[in-house]
Amino acid sequence: MLDQFNWLNLNFAPFNLINLLDIFIVALVLYKLMLIIKGTRAVQLIKGIVVLLVATTVSSWLELYTINWLLRQTMTALVVALPIVFQPELRRALEQLGRGKFFARSFINLGEEDRSRMINEVVRAVQVLSKNSIGALIVIERVTGLEEYIDTGIKIDGVISSEFLINLFVPKTPLHDGACIIRGDRVAAAACFLPLTDAPLAHDLGTRHRAGVGITEYSDALAVIVSEETGTISLAQEGEIYRMLDETTLKQKLTDGLQPKSSPSFYNLWSKSGGS
């Protein structure tokens, strides 16, 4: 009986401020880790892991021994693979911790007015670039984070304006090669390197178009491309490219593509912050 009372005292100790602080710190760290992986391909991988965990539990309840054994072996293999799969996210977390930015404020979604202004500035800049046959590649971040590609370029963090975007792509200037990446209502970086698509494209489309399509295969970003040879405007989205766009069509496609989408309640925490 005495042992039982000791167990109760140990497990139901009075709740104090130290316990509250302990819980708060753990919750904050977990929240920041979720924000780091939010908007990356790691989110889809975590969803897959959750499905495997649920399937393993259900197969155990239903006594499906063969399926349960296969699922458990898969989970064991995942434990070894996780550090490799989440290497970019782990590296980013450690870098932020080292730079003291782990608890920095995260990016907030744009309101409708700011989003509309950003689209108008992009469209206006693209029209000028097109008329002067100046090649350009403008990538607009949505939910999937593009930090690893931003790191390949020159970080700017400047407020978007059509004049600013035009100057970035003026030939023979330091930032004219590569892609410009927009995050929210700011130019995050310029002269960025992007992955090239392996999909077959029209013979008259070069590296700039391949990079534009490539980034939309790796993420949910939108890529606006201006051809240096012909001045034609294209938009890449979800691995597809739409060519010969005029001002009205481009603006409409950007407006539709950048509309915020509601997420299932299970993932609401991840949808409250991050790139748009």
Distance CA 173, CA 193 (A): 16
* DSSP bridge pairs for 236: 223, 241
Task: With beta carbons less than 8 A apart as the criterion, state whether 225 and 235 touch.
Answer: yes
Res 209: pLDDT: 93
The model's pLDDT over 150-204, given as tens digits with 9 standing for 90+, comes to 989 999 989 999 999 999 999 888 888 899 999 988 999 999 999 898 888 888 8
Residue 184: which of 109, 112, 113 has the closest Cα?
Answer: 109
Phi (first) and psi of residue 198, to 5 degrees: -95, -5
Pick the CATH number of 112-257 from 3.40.1700.10, 3.60.20.30, 3.40.960.10, 3.30.750.210: 3.40.1700.10
pTM: 0.62
Distance CA 5, CA 268 (A): 42
In the chain, where are the structural domains located?
A: 2-98, 112-257
Helix (H, G, I), strand (E, B) or coil at 182: strand
- 139 pLDDT higher than 70: yes
Task: With beta carbons less than 8 A apart as the criterion, state whether 209 and 135 touch.
Answer: no
